[in-house]
Amino acid sequence: MNYLVISAHDYRSRRKAGLHFITAELAKRGQTRFFSCQYSLLSDLKSDPRKSIGALANKREVFDGVECYLWKTLIHPFNMRKPVLQPIESFLFRRYLRHVSPVLVEWIKQSDMVVFESGIAPIFFDLVRELNPRARTVYVASDDLATINVASYVKHTFDRIAPQMDALCLKSRFMIDGIPPSDNQYIVPHGFDFSVADHADPSPYGAGQHAVSLGSMLFDPSFFVIASKLFPEMTFHVIGSGMGRHEGYGSNVIVYDEMPHKQTLPYIKHATIGLAPYRAAGLPAYLSDTSLKLMQYDFFGLPAVCPQAIVGDYQSRFGYVPGNEQSIGDAIRAARAAPRITFRTPLAWSDVVDRILSPDSFPDTQVPSSGRRNLDAAGSRYTPLPA
């Protein structure tokens, strides 16, 4: 089998997302290629994580057994946000498709299966159908399109083509809300790399109690302004927040730059509690199922503190209301008193890919009909486009 992954990530990036692990597993099963798009001179003006490999743009490279290509253009299409600018936005997307990379054309023609990650990738579906109608097409929903604020052109395209794909693999049951009704939807949860246990020693901490936070997604610095003053005896470790030290932080807050994933593992395993300080605005419910840091905390038996909206049915999590001092204090106290127990075991990435390749073979991937009926009754965020 020949697999092609299309994404706005790059397989060689330092920051790893779920699609990187999926790609690595696909590479064990056949020739796998990773095409990275929506990168241009505009990206160099922003904090695009692919800037560190910008010198590799428009060059083929085999990395860890995966053939990679970062397509860099002069400009790339993007969400212009204002309705009055949508004609320009659509023009940029159509132009992008008219001048598509010859490498992508070649790889599409040679593929048996094409994986589209949520984001810009679905705009290439029609091209795949034109160039290689026999190829199996699979959508991997890493994020809800409304949550990541994709351009209207992308959302309209996805709403049109989603029912035509062979499979829509949703990482959480909470994602059904934003997907057009169809019979090709499956629940394929976020996987987990169990080898992290081999890289989590020794402890990087000294004596005392330590709380750790990882990552920059929806990061809320006000949490640490409050928590560091409520718990002066505890040390708060903030890793890779994408922000410098906030002026309101107590002296017991240590801020670290982004680290390689393996380097963060001892900070998780040996912490007293884990923190997921997401800000309230734009917080999607599906993070309860897809947050990698929360999954890692649970794997190491670490009680976690997170906003109430994403506690879900996980017994190892203690919720608070962002910005509310009393609830933050209560959540941290409850987490510190909780036992270190792993309450559920996630799927290995090999099991995830088994389900992506053959979702009908697994009963746990099926979307319950009651879930769709309940969504319809409550009112879905999905709105059909006018004919």
3-state secondary structure of 145: coil
Rounded distance, CA 65 to CA 15, Å?
18
Q: How many CA atoms lie within 13 A of 243 on its CB side?
A: 17
Write the DSSP string, 70-99: EEEESS------SGGGHHHHHHHHHHHHHT
Write the DSSP string, 266-285: HHHHT-SEEE--B-STT--T
Q: Are 89 and 151 within 8 A, CB to CB?
A: yes
Which listed residue (143, 193, 220, 354) is catalytic? 143
Write the DSSP string, 97-109: HHT--HHHHHHHH
Determine whether 143 is an active site residue.
yes
Q: How many CA atoms lie within 13 A of 167 on its CB side?
A: 24
Pairing state of beta strands 31-40 and 66-73?
parallel
Short-list 235, 214, 225, CA closest to 297: 214
Task: Give the bridge partners for 62, in sequence order.
Answer: 67
Rounded distance, CA 334 to CA 317, Å?
9
With a CB cutoff of 8 Å and minimum separation 6, the contacts of 279 are 218, 219, 220, 222, 322
Rounded distance, CA 87 to CA 107, Å?
30
Rounded distance, CA 253 to CA 275, Å?
13
Rounded distance, CA 272 to CA 180, Å?
43
Short-list 104, 5, 117, 9, CA closest to 53: 9
Q: Are 36 and 11 within 8 A, CB to CB?
A: yes
With a CB cutoff of 8 Å and minimum separation 6, the contacts of 311 are 288, 317, 318, 319
As annotated, the active-site residues are 143
